[in-house]
Amino acid sequence: MKLVFEFSKTSNLIYISHLDLMRLFLRVLRMSGLRPVYSQGFNPHPKMSFTLPLSLGLYSVCELLEFETESVNTKDEAEAAVRTVNERMPEGIRVIAWHEKPAHVTKSLASYSSAASYEFMCDCLPDAPALLASFFERDSVIIKKHDKKTEKEAYKDIRPDMLGWRIIKDIQGRMLAEATLSAAAGRTLNPSVFFGAFCGSCGLDAAILKPVITRTRILGADGKPVTEIIL
């Protein structure tokens, strides 16, 4: 049986690394009767993967884990095992929903993902709607980044990867907004980089504002949640 977990990542668990998150799930799955299948060969590894691994310090209510298991054979057994998973998980990780992955969906969900939406909340930012509108009206947004291969500074235009925005709630002195950013292969825009570029365009310091960033949706090429592929 191939399963997909939708889970939230909050509280202090936003600071857990991707590798440690993998280890956490692997241990809890084993304890809950959902032992993942391992690959064959010289260096076996569990057949499990996360869709768009999240950067440290970011919240999420839409994380996706897919894995294959031979420990359960029916949906009732899987339902009981998922309840046990939530009972054994530390505070900050909770499985919101689970799905059996259809046999005809042979690719990973990551291969269908092309964008993600993030909610940004911070105080001491008056006129946020006007600032965001002005930022998205720009023809180009150039950022400087360090090239690990060449060890040199490089410049990149992230404007094509800024796909959309909306104000969730207009509160004087506070920004509560959502931005949709590219997550396509080779074009993934980190939300912290986006917010840093936004602050730079406004003459603000992102480190002082300390935004709370939450990933709210992982989207496919059609703009719909990628989980609709398996529903």
Choose the final residue of a domain: 101, 134, 161.
Answer: 101
How does DSSP classify residue 148?
Answer: T
- Domain membership flag for residue 106: no
**Residues 120 and 175 sit within 8 Å (Cβ to Cβ):** yes
Q: Structure pTM?
A: 0.92
Choose the final residue of a domain: 77, 101, 125.
Answer: 101
Choose the final residue of a domain: 73, 101, 129.
Answer: 101
φ, ψ of residue 227 to 5 degrees: the values are -70, -20
**Residues 117 and 220 sit within 8 Å (Cβ to Cβ):** no
| Full residue range of the structural domain in which residue 47 is found | 2-101
Q: Is the dihedral of CA 90, 109, 99, 45 positive or negative?
A: negative
- Domain membership flag for residue 107: no
Examine the pLDDT at 181 and tell me if it is beyond 90: yes
Q: Does residue 144 share a domain with residue 81? A: no
Q: Does residue 180 share a domain with residue 208? A: yes
Domain of 92: which CATH number? Answer: 3.30.70.580
Q: Does residue 120 share a domain with residue 74? A: no
Examine the pLDDT at 225 and tell me if it is beyond 80: yes
Distance CA 175, CA 165 (A): 12
Q: Does residue 84 share a domain with residue 42? A: yes
| C-alpha Rg value of the chain to the nearest Å | 20
Distance spanning both ends of the chain, measured CA to CA: 15
Read off the pLDDT of residues 40-74 as tens digits, 9 standing for 90 and up: 888 888 999 999 999 999 999 999 999 999 988 88
Q: Does residue 128 share a domain with residue 36? A: no
Bridge partners (DSSP) of residue 38 are 46
Give the residue among 215, 223, 229, 216 at the shortest CA–CA distance from 54: 215
Q: How many domains is the chain built from?
A: 2
Q: Does residue 132 share a domain with residue 72? A: no
Q: Does residue 121 share a domain with residue 82? A: no
Examine the pLDDT at 125 and tell me if it is beyond 90: no
Q: Does residue 150 share a domain with residue 90? A: no
Q: Does residue 149 share a domain with residue 54? A: no
Res. 149 pLDDT band, cuts 50 70 90: confident
